[in-house]
Structure 1
Amino acid sequence: MAEFDKNILSIKDLSIGYDSKIVAEHINFELENGMLCGVVGINGVGKSTLLRTLGGFQPKLSGDIFLNEKPLEKYTSSNLSKELSVVLTEQPASKNLTVQELIALGRQPYTNWLGTLTKEDKQQIEASLDAFLLKELRHRKCHELSDGQLQRVLVSRAMAQDTSLILLDEPTTHLDLYHKVQILKMLQELAHDKQKTILFTTHEIELAIQLCDRILILDGKDHPFGDPCQLIEQKHFDSLFPSEMVQFDAKTGSFKVSK
């Protein structure tokens, strides 16, 4: 069982949205180092908006975001890039780069103005290639990769950035079941073995229940957060879908279509 002892991310009474339109409000949760946390909920409930807000891509509407016990808005963009890495659903514009070149971009926050890679930079790149089983693909162009391979490269780049917090928006989209499990198992290992705190949005609720240390349910009301088993016991997953269509089986941690 993983041990957690250092607070990395603290969210207090957060409201998110666009301009004056609130998408979700009264969000509260805390993540410690080495935690893998999934954010689940139906479409339109604010999962991607939350991730973009935590990543500094759009402003919060109200509330507090603390990263390593420091308010998020107190970070400069260069300092934030050393504490936080983000993998969004948009495909990278640099798909003509090789796998190794794209992963090396994760070291930009640490290189000099010429972008010269130090010995430490190269070690981080090698460790990232190794962790996500990409060494044999290092010289392949990214546009030649399958969806699953490219997703591993993008997560590997985030690992090479060597931040305490990694945010991922739908990292298993368009992947088959094998590659969904592969990516999430790799994220779990990255969190537990390298003591990275990883927060990701997902529709793979059953996989998240099995692999995550914590889950945040964006439900449009109370936004329950906690250990997956506790959330099951408290019947929070039951409210995700209309019971006449889908029922949650607490014994197996899975959903069944109502007949």
Structure 2
Amino acid sequence: MAKTEKNILSIANLSIGYGNKSVANNIDFDLEAGMLCGVVGINGIGKSTLLRTLGRFQPKLGGAISLNGQSLEKYGSNALSKVLSVVLTEQPASKNLTVQELIALGRQPYTNWLGTLTQTDKQQIEASLDAFLLNELRNSKCHELSDGQLQRVLVARAMAQDTSLILLDEPTTHLDLYHKVQILKMLQRLAHERQKTILFTTHEIDLAIQLCDRILILDGKEHPFGDPCELIEQKHFDRLFPSEMVQFDAKTGSFKVSK
């Protein structure tokens, strides 16, 4: 895909891993504003490693990462927190906070040293509470919430941070099907209505195919990227798992157990 000024995130020839150990190489893709992108692949293929590298929690081994046309390495910490927000699988250390207080932490990059909330900050917090159906829970302690409710709070905090790029690691883990769909549809709406670029890792390939604008398949070789329908036509999902155990049905866009 050609690089344009519209691209929020541009990845070129990226290599990821730990120390001298490479996990995946030659990753190339670009994302424009308003796109929801899922990262899929088998366990251990590098999905979380990619997300942590893009979030600058660990260094890349090679290649280039550009955010809003600027190299990721050139951002200072405060400047980066205004363009990039991250929701990882680790539980927050501050679960004794109320829902509203935890979401308000998303405004830290913009507040003064006293942490004083301006009218703009308060509006962003209210918009996040509304968007993720959290108004009735605003005064609840986070440790009182279900897994699905807490996940909505963490994504709402990222929304309140008001960054152009949002990264999420397995946002639907431990949720039932209804709440998996709820979270992903909320992310889709956040991307499309507020023109956010959202990249998330997931094992829910069937749901990603239905809801994502783009999918990146980490396969240890080519790492195909594109529109879900194009990836289906090119049979990339057929090669994701050993066919003797699981087969991809292109007609339904889902995986079926081989009998």
Partner of 2:83: 83
Partner of 2:181: 181
1:61 paired with 2:77, answer: no
Structure 2 residues without counterparts, runs of 5 or longer: none
TM alignment of 1:1-259, pairs within 5 A = 6-259=6-259
Structure 1 pair 172–22 and aligned structure 2 pair: CA distance change class (3 A): same
Structure 1 residues without counterparts, runs of 5 or longer: none
Alpha-carbon RMSD across the aligned residues, in angstroms, is 0.9
Q: Distance in 1 between matches of 2:6 and 2:112?
A: 30
Name the SS of the counterpart of 2:167 in structure 1.
Answer: strand
Which amino acid counterpart does residue 256 of structure 2 have in structure 1?
Answer: K
Q: 1:6 Cα deviation (Å)?
A: 1.8
Q: Deviations over 1:155-191 (max 9, x none)?
A: 0000000000000000000000000000000000000
Q: Distance in 2 between matches of 1:88 and 1:34?
A: 21
Q: Distance in 2 between matches of 1:150 and 1:102?
A: 10
Q: Deviations over 1:169-217 (max 9, x none)?
A: 0000000000000000000000000000000000000000000000000
Q: Distance in 2 between matches of 1:213 and 1:163?
A: 19
1:15–1:26 CA contact under 8 A, matched in 2: yes
Q: Distance in 1 between matches of 2:228 and 2:5?
A: 19
Q: 1:5 Cα deviation (Å)?
A: 8.0
After TM superposition, which residue ranges in structure 1, 4 or more long, deviate above 4 angstroms?
Answer: none
Q: Distance in 2 between matches of 1:183 and 1:123?
A: 22
Superposition TM-score, scaled by structure 1 size: 0.98
1:5–1:33 CA contact under 8 A, matched in 2: no
2:5–2:69 CA contact under 8 A, matched in 1: no
Q: Distance in 1 between matches of 2:102 and 2:49?
A: 26
Name the SS of the counterpart of 2:65 in structure 1.
Answer: strand
Name the SS of the counterpart of 1:27 in structure 2.
Answer: strand
Which amino acid counterpart does residue 52 of structure 1 have in structure 2?
Answer: R
Q: Distance in 1 between matches of 2:251 and 2:194?
A: 32
Superposition TM-score, scaled by structure 2 size: 0.98
Q: Distance in 1 between matches of 2:61 and 2:252?
A: 38
Identity of aligned residues (%): 86
